[in-house]
Chains A and B, each alone.
Chain A
Amino acid sequence: GENVEQHPSTLSVQEGDSAVIKCTYSDSASNYFPWYKQELGKGPQLIIDIRSNVGEKKDQRIAVTLNKTAKHFSLHITETQPEDSAVYFCAAFYNTDKLIFGTGTRLQVFP
């Protein structure tokens, strides 16, 4: 079935530390995996994405890794800052028409 599991549900880190969020998807046909950041009162904002023909992608302090064999993908944020505090969602693209989202991770970065 169509399912994306996300862990942890909450994550608290000290400013400057790294944060890692992990997701697992169920459909081996999925080939596109975006990550969204959602701040209070706003819609999800695309922050990075990866396709299945790539194992890792980096954009400044954010990186995503994909293990297609294990159907795992992860978001890594280095040198965290208070403005990184938000809810983060992973997602997998299914059947050419829809994103299936994980349940979200609330990240809190303490100064």
Chain B
Amino acid sequence: ETGVTQSPTHLIKTRGQQVTLRCSSQSGHNTVSWYQQALGQGPQFIFQYYREEENGRGNFPPRFSGLQFPNYSSELNVNALELDDSALYLCASSQDQANEKLFFGSGTQLSVL
């Protein structure tokens, strides 16, 4: 049990819609990262949040955006959904920005039809 919780566990959307995924970090952790895992692939870095600001970003378009709240929980928002956005979205927390040890939640499985 890592302590990182994500909601919802599953979600079905249609192309063009918008989606918000939520994550609560492990107790004592102030940094949250989001990853996208396509079927049969390794997770790919979307972005990281530290002290409520985006602290690093992978190769994802601006329609992927996020927020971090004062309690260190986080949201991932995806606008104008495309079929290729169908994937497992993973949230990971770490003790602080400089700590590379990431603890993952179980993810949200997003299906875009």
Contacts and interface: CB of A to CB of B under 8 A. Distances in A.
Contacts of B35: 99
Nearest to B40: A104
A110 B36 CA distance: 31
A41 to B, nearest CB: 7
Given A32-B100, A43-B2, A95-B56, A101 B106 contact: no
Contacts of B41: 103-104
A103 B42 contact: yes
B44 interface: yes
Contacts of B92: 43
Chain B CB within 10 Å — which of A45, A49, A97 has the most? A97
A43 B48 CA distance: 17
A61 to B, nearest CB: 21
Contact of A97 (B2, B42, B56, B103): B56
Contacts of B104: 36, 43-45
B90 interface: yes
Contact of B33 (A41, A46, A98): A98
How would you classify the secondary structure of chain B's contact residues: helix, strand, loop or mixed?
A: loop
A90 B9 CA distance: 25
Contacts of B107: 42-43
B98 interface: yes
B71 interface: no
Given A97-B55, A98-B45, A43 B98 contact: no
26 contacts: A32-B100, A34-B101, A41-B106, A43-B92, A43-B105, A43-B107, A44-B43, A44-B90, A46-B101, A46-B102, A46-B103, A89-B42, A91-B42, A93-B100, A97-B48, A97-B55, A97-B56, A97-B97, A98-B33, A99-B102, A100-B45, A101-B42, A101-B43, A101-B44, A102-B42, A104-B42
